[in-house]
Amino acid sequence: MARKKSYNYFDKFVELVDYSCKCAEILHATLLDFDVNQMDQKLEELHAIEHAGDIARHELFQQLITEFIAPIEREDIVSLSDSIDDITDSIEDVLLLIHMFNVKTIKPEVLEFTSLIIKCCDALKIALQEFHNFKKSTTLHTKIVEVNDLEEIADKLYYRTVHNLYSSSKDPIELLIWTQVFERLEKCCDKCENTAGIIETVAMKNS
């Protein structure tokens, strides 16, 4: 009788972050070629990916409930899964906020942020593809450092864009809207850095 193939949590982490990558790409493409009339469709597209990520995460949790022995601590599996899910949620939140505030035009700095988000997600995906081999992989550490560096760039971009916003505008509505939009964009990179930190901590604990 053939032995049942064990569940691969590391593959599932890659699947989860792939949803984040797809959402980041849709967000960037939507705002690059911005069309208010396409927003409902783009939101549905983005939400469908976010929802698929939720289903995959719930499947992982259901497997974890029945698993006798997991490859790393259960708390770490839950923490990492939740952290990746937070990235996907935070990306969707950006487009929801832009739609909610009925934004008509996109500031060029927004695309600088979305490009950074894509790079963060891509680096995390490579890191998670290497995660199963964390004791030997040299790429894993390099990608974690890359995410940290990108988040630092996003911090500086956030400071610069908000400073420029308040230096150039006195319109309270414009200030309210764009302060929150820039904040949510920067938060996406923060969430990526948080995930990178969890990966690094888990690797250190198990090395």
Instruction: Give the whole-angstrom CA distance, residue 176 versus residue 76.
Output: 37
The one-character DSSP state at 138 is S
- What predicted TM-score, i.e. pTM, was given to this entire model? 0.95
Where along the chain do its domains lie?
Answer: 9-205
Query: Which tops the pLDDT comparison, 206 or 29?
Result: 29
Residue 2 is predicted with a pLDDT of 42
Residue located via tokens 């911090």: 155
Going by pLDDT thresholds of 50, 70 and 90, the confidence category of residue 68 is confident
184 touches 90 (CB < 8 A):
yes
What is the CATH architecture of 9-205?
Up-down Bundle (1.20)
Q: Over the stretch 167-189, which tens digit does the pLDDT of each residue have?
A: 999 999 999 999 999 999 999 99
Q: Over the stretch 1-12, which tens digit does the pLDDT of each residue have?
A: 344 457 899 999
Q: What is the dihedral of CA 151, 155, 157, 163, to 10 degrees?
A: 170
Q: Over the stretch 120-169, which tens digit does the pLDDT of each residue have?
A: 999 999 999 999 998 888 899 999 999 999 999 999 999 999 999 999 99
Write out the two tokens for 135. Answer: 């004791």
CB atoms within 10 A of CB 179: 14
